């Protein structure tokens, strides 16, 4: 099996043309990007609204319940329902995108809601005391603090979409799932295993990309990357500030025997 996988990756025919790995990866990323944009456009505003106002919290529970729906069964059901109304290539892509969006909404919605809901009430009160209105509190205080959990939800949704998009090839969608579906139909297990490896590598690279974006856009104060200031006492001992506000003194020159 390993030799067959190595031979498959070494075959130039698998790296060129409409069925080559680069083209399949681009198709997979296209479906993933479209899905995330649509899901984020729905879930992030709703999550901000629920977290900021505390209303319609049942929407989060309803969205999370979608995770229990079998992806393949939902895909076939929507494809059969929309099939008579859509023609051409859209008959394959639209049902798949709808299913992927439904699967991507729960983690993004939960992450956004949890991030806003976890904001310290004292921070909100301080913002209101400074004269900020509701939208300003949301945009300048709650959203920046909620950003780590929001991005975590997007990150989780991206990985789920990349993995689930492979089964969408069962209804004619392109992407890396073609290697698995076509390989199963032709009993080409080397192609199936190789396609699974490419999907895993792609998911890993996308996860690293989101980790880098999170490191760039999230305030260092929220991630703990900022070193706490140290000051010197009169005896030369360094004083650090603990997370709970206590002063911690480290021995200085005067304390050394």
Take residue 165 and report the two structure tokens written for it. 């998009």
pLDDT of residue 66: 75
Distance CA 11, CA 150 (A): 41
Q: Which pLDDT score is estimated for 226?
A: 54
> Residue 141: what pLDDT?
82
Q: Considering the chain, what is the average pLDDT of its residues?
A: 81
The CATH class of 2-226 is mainly alpha
Amino acid 257: pLDDT: 47
d(CA 104, CA 43): 9
63 Cβ contact partners less than 8 Å away, ≥ 6 residues apart:
43, 105, 106, 109, 110
Burial of 31 (0-12, 13-18, 19+ CB in 10 A): buried
| H-helix or E-strand spanning residue 122 | helix 121-129
Alpha carbon separation from 29 to 55, 106, 193, 233 (Å, rounded) = 35, 20, 20, 56
Bridge partners, residue 240, by sequence: 230, 248
The closest of 186, 162, 166, 246 to 8, measured between CA atoms, is 186
- Position 130 scores a pLDDT of 82
Distance CA 226, CA 183 (A): 50
CA distance linking residue 143 with residue 125, whole number of Å: 15
> What are the backbone dihedrals phi and psi of residue 204, each rounded to the nearest 5 degrees, phi first?
-65, -45
Please state, in angstroms and rounded to a whole number, the distance separating the CA atoms of residues 119 and 137: 11
Question: CA 30 to CA 143: how far, in whole Å?
Answer: 28
Residue spans of the domains in the chain: they are: 2-226, 230-257
Strand partners, 247: 241
Q: How far apart are CA 65 and CA 141, in angstroms?
A: 30
The pLDDT value given to residue 230:
53
Give the pLDDT of the chain (257 residues) as one tens digit per residue. Answer: 788 888 888 888 889 888 899 999 999 999 999 999 999 999 999 998 888 887 878 888 888 887 777 777 888 788 778 777 777 767 778 888 888 998 899 999 999 998 888 888 887 778 878 878 777 888 778 888 888 899 999 999 999 999 888 888 887 778 898 998 888 888 888 999 999 999 999 999 999 999 898 888 887 766 655 555 555 545 554 545 554 445 454 554 444 44
pTM for the model:
0.79
CB 104 within 8 A of CB 146: no
CA distance 7 to 194: 10
């Amino acid at each position: 099996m390993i030799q067959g996988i190595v031979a498959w990756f070494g075959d130039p025919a698998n790296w060129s043309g409409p069925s080559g790995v680069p083209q399949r990866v681009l198709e997979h990323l296209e479906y993933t990007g479209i899905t995330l944009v649509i899901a984020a456009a729905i879930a992030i505003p709703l999550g901000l609204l629920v977290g900021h106002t505390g209303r319609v919290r049942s929407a989060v529970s309803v969205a999370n319940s979608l995770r229990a729906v079998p992806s393949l069964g939902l895909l076939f059901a929507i494809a059969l329902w929309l099939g008579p109304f859509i023609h051409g290539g859209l008959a394959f892509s639209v049902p798949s995108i709808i299913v992927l969006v439904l699967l991507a909404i729960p983690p993004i919605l939960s992450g956004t809601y949890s991030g806003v809901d976890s904001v310290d009430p004292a921070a909100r009160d301080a913002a209101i005391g400074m004269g900020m209105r509701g939208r300003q509190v949301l945009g300048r205080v709650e959203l920046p603090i909620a950003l780590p959990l929001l991005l975590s939800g997007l990150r989780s949704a991206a990985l789920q979409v990349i993995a689930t998009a492979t089964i969408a090839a069962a209804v004619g969608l392109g992407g890396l799932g073609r290697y698995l579906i076509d390989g199963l139909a032709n009993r080409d297990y080397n192609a199936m295993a190789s396609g699974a490896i490419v999907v895993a590598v792609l998911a890993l690279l996308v996860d690293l990309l989101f980790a880098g974006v999170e490191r760039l856009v999230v305030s260092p104060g929220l991630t703990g990357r900022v070193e706490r200031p140290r000051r010197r006492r009169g005896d030369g001992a360094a004083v650090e500030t603990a997370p709970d506000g206590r002063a911690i003194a480290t021995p200085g020159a005067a304390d050394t025997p």
